[in-house]
Structure 1
């Protein structure tokens, strides 16, 4: 395995080597300032109570990690399982078991939201509502202090 030494103010010693020559100068102090964007995405849940997962929201072409709060309302007699892709991994987020019940969760690194409705013995349609409020930085500027 090739190991490289990474530090600030480096230059390669030789193109065929994996070593770098570095100054011992510290990084100049800096501050990053970003504008924070907040979006609220809401929608109706309408799917069969058949155990299949349905995607209700997905982040596409967003370069910054999203943090957000999700609220799910159960408007039927089916149990709703909610999962999401968080920082590249599919993870369970909530289970909403009762008709008329709402639950919420706040997640850092959210990428998708999927809902599964578990059959309860009756042929039923799963219904409800979700709202996701996401925040993410845009237009970031780095100010260096020399």
Structure 2
């Protein structure tokens, strides 16, 4: 990883599951792309979005909506060992924590956006939608 810019904030998440999500996303970047991997964060409405962008070929546009499905592997993953579980597992865990995982092609690679609630505003009703698993 060459760049990392994240706001200093507490989030609502299951620590072990969030580590698994990040391991899966960075593992995919390592398998299918080249350095650098950029990590940036933004706060909006008490939500933290972490954008992880690799420097690789991306995913064919017609397959973007499919890469978070169980056992789906994009056509350009042929020849690379895997079972199509990494992004699916990450997507499922983010959903279970009340967060979101969104994939997109970037100008120079592939991007995964992870969104989680901030823990700093106890009275925020959205906080109760975010849970640990």
TM-score range, shorter chain: under 0.3
Structure number, greater radius of gyration: 1
TM-score by length of 1: 0.25
Q: Indicate the structure with greater strand content.
A: 1
Q: Indicate the structure with greater helix content.
A: 2
TM-score by length of 2: 0.26
